[in-house]
Structure 1
Amino acid sequence: MLHAYLNIFAIFALMFLGYWLSFKQWFSNRSADVFSKLVLNLALPFNMFLTITANFSKEEFLNLFSGMIIPILSMFMTFFLSQLYRKIWPTKEGRGGTFTTMFTCSNTIFIGLPINLAIFGEEAVPFVLLYYIVNTTIFWTIGVYEIAQDNPEIHQVKVSFHPLVVLKKVFSPALLGFLIGIGWMMASFPVPEFIATFGGYLADLTTPLSMFVIGIIVYFSGLKNLKINRDVIGVLLGRFFFSPLIVWLLGQFIHVPPLMLAVFIIQSSMPVQNSVTILTRAYHGDEEFAASSLGYSVLIYMLYIPILLKLIL
Structure 2
Amino acid sequence: MVATYLNILVIFAMIIIGYILSAKKWFNNKMIDAFSKLVLNIALPLNMYLNMIEKFEHDEFLTLATGIVLPAVSIVVTFILSKVFCSLFKVSTNRRGVFQTMFTASNTIFMGLPITTAVFGEHAIPYALLYYMCNTSFFFTVGISLIASDREGASMTWKFDWRDLVRKLLNPALVGFFIGLLWMLLELPKIKPLLDFSRYMGGLTTPLSLFIIGMIVYQTGWKSIKFNHEVAGVLLGRYLVSPLVVYLLSFIIPVPVLMLKVFMLQSAMPVQNSMAMLARAYGADEVFATSSLIYSILSYLVVIIVYLFLWI
TM-score category by the smaller chain? 0.7 to 0.9
Q: Specify the alignment match of 1:205 in structure 2.
A: 204
**Residues 173, 92 of structure 1: CA spacing in aligned structure 2 closer, same or farther, 3 A cutoff?**
closer
1:27 pairs with 2:32? no
1:57 pairs with 2:61? no
1:274 pairs with 2:273? no
**Residues 165, 68 of structure 1: CA spacing in aligned structure 2 closer, same or farther, 3 A cutoff?**
farther
**Residues 234, 45 of structure 1: CA spacing in aligned structure 2 closer, same or farther, 3 A cutoff?**
closer
- CA–CA distance in structure 1, aligned partners of residues 147 and 67 of structure 2: 23
Per mean C-alpha deviation after superposition, the further-off stretch among 37-46 and 255-264 is: 255-264
CA contact (8 A) 2:67 2:130 kept: no
Structure 1: which 5+ runs fail to align? Answer: none
Per mean C-alpha deviation after superposition, the further-off stretch among 119-128 and 171-180 is: 119-128
Q: Specify the alignment match of 2:141 in structure 1.
A: 137
Q: Specify the alignment match of 1:117 in structure 2.
A: 113
Identical residues among aligned pairs (%): 36
The letter for the 2-side match of 1:174 is: A
Shift of 1:93: 5.7
CA contact (8 A) 1:7 1:118 kept: yes
Shift of 1:15: 1.6
Per mean C-alpha deviation after superposition, the further-off stretch among 54-63 and 179-188 is: 179-188
1:296 pairs with 2:292? no
The letter for the 1-side match of 2:140 is: T
- CA–CA distance in structure 2, aligned partners of residues 171 and 68 of structure 1: 23
**Residues 161, 299 of structure 1: CA spacing in aligned structure 2 closer, same or farther, 3 A cutoff?**
farther
The letter for the 2-side match of 1:32 is: I
Q: Specify the alignment match of 1:230 in structure 2.
A: 229
CA contact (8 A) 1:95 1:289 kept: no
- Secondary structure of 2:73's match? helix
Shift of 1:224: 0.9
Shift of 1:49: 2.9
The letter for the 1-side match of 2:104 is: C
For residues 146-204 of structure 1, what are the alpha-carbon distances to aligned partners after superposition, in whole Å with 9 as ceiling and x for unaligned?
Answer: x46965xx3xx444453333333334333323333333334433323222222221122
Structure 2: which 5+ runs fail to align? Answer: none
CA contact (8 A) 1:244 1:269 kept: no
Query: What does residue range 120-269 of structure 1 map to in structure 2 within 5 Å?
Result: 120=117, 123=126, 124-125=128-129, 127-141=131-145, 144-145=148-149, 147=150, 154=155, 157-160=156-159, 162-256=161-255, 258-259=258-259, 262-263=262-263, 265-269=265-269
Q: Specify the alignment match of 1:38 in structure 2.
A: 38
Per mean C-alpha deviation after superposition, the further-off stretch among 161-170 and 273-282 is: 273-282
The letter for the 2-side match of 1:182 is: L
- CA–CA distance in structure 1, aligned partners of residues 163 and 65 of structure 2: 25
- CA–CA distance in structure 2, aligned partners of residues 49 and 86 of structure 1: 34
- CA–CA distance in structure 1, aligned partners of residues 55 and 98 of structure 2: 38
CA contact (8 A) 1:32 1:216 kept: yes
Shift of 1:115: 0.9
**Residues 23, 172 of structure 1: CA spacing in aligned structure 2 closer, same or farther, 3 A cutoff?**
same
- Secondary structure of 1:242's match? helix
Q: Specify the alignment match of 1:66 in structure 2.
A: 66
Shift of 1:133: 0.5
- CA–CA distance in structure 2, aligned partners of residues 116 and 159 of structure 1: 34
The letter for the 2-side match of 1:139 is: G
TM-score with structure 2 setting the length: 0.78
- CA–CA distance in structure 2, aligned partners of residues 15 and 252 of structure 1: 39
